[in-house]
Amino acid sequence: MKVFLGIDVGSVSTNIALMAERGEVLDYVYLRTCGQPIRALQEGLGQIDRSLPPASQVAGVATTGSARQLAGVLAGADVIKNEITSHALAALQFFPQVRTVVEIGGQDSKIIIVRQGAVVDFAMNTVCAAGTGSFLDQQAARLGIPIEEFGSYALRSKSPSQIAGRCTVFAETDMIHKQQMGHTVADIIAGLCEALVRNYLSNVAKGKEVFAPVVFQGGVAANLGIRNALQKALSMEIIVPPQYHVMGAIGAALLAKDRPGGNGHSRFRGFQVSRSESRTSSFECPDCPNACEIVEVFIDCQMVARWGDRCGKWQYQEVHPSQ
């Protein structure tokens, strides 16, 4: 049986989806990256290996996410694509009529405009972390509330507090001020969710035509407070897929499955990479004033890739035997 791997390595989570030839998701893994993408990728591949159906052949691998290039080299990817493409494909797979994709992850947020099954526009917010998963994790910890219960607190509110949500620093300062004034935790959390949704719509979605169906993806889609505030602000139903937190990996698996010219041959290094000694190192090139920082990737003491230079002098990638 041919299977396909989609790997999404981000700043907060590392996700891997295992897909069958007909497109059904056989298994998936969601792990915290914890600042160590190589270790998270190896752990995820090890988990998938243990759940792999008998007599399976990995016929394609694709990577996405902020560490897609690193993950692609380590795993031996056939396709390396950006998150916009991956998330749009996953949304279309489950909801062919989707017209707007809202994706809020650990460190950034995106909006993808889809018309007639094709991406026609998108925008990303990578400058400020307000409204992203890491910021919500931080505020939940500061309030002493498990992040899993953060959204349910917001739903208890009768009168949400007015919170400044355009900046993480201002939002936290405003929350503390409201606490000192005697506002309830539920009202403060509900106000924060509404403020962060306002910030998303006025910055990331600025100038975009948001039409239903709207699909909400990414880890923050689990937050009932954000979900409710988004639905209220848009005055339309928000669809949250069951596998909302690994949609990037599912989209990558679709890319691997549908890549042209695959013919069942893959550059995949095999699941033994989960047990290999993989590491990176870097150095500063002294040859010109650009002072480029060159990154080298090693697997079992063998250099397999190098990048980071502007002139191309140091670029190197191992030619895989099956390429």
Sequence spans of domains, the chain? 2-89+248-274, 96-240, 278-317
CB 274 within 8 A of CB 45: yes
CA-CA distances (angstroms) from residue 100 to 211, 220, 241? 6, 16, 14
- Residue whose C-alpha is closest to residue 74's, from 58, 84, 63, 83: 63
Low-confidence ranges of the chain (pLDDT < 50): 321-323
pTM for this prediction: 0.90
Cα dihedral sign for 170, 174, 133, 84? Answer: negative
| CATH class of the structural domain 2-89+248-274 | alpha beta
Q: For 112, phi and psi rounded to 5 degrees?
A: -125, 125
Same fold, 2-89+248-274 and 96-240: yes
Q: Side chain identity at 141, as an amino acid letter?
A: A
| CATH class of the structural domain 96-240 | alpha beta
231-290 confidence digits (pLDDT tens): 999 999 999 999 999 999 999 999 999 988 666 689 999 999 999 999 999 999 999 999
Query: Distance from first CA to last CA of the chain, Å, rounded?
Result: 21
Residue 217: enclosing H or E segment and its boundaries? strand 214-217
131's CB contacts (< 8 A; 6+ apart) are: 104, 109, 165, 196, 197, 199, 200, 220, 226
pLDDT of residue 323: 37
pLDDT of residue 322: 39
Q: 3-state class of 164 per DSSP? A: coil
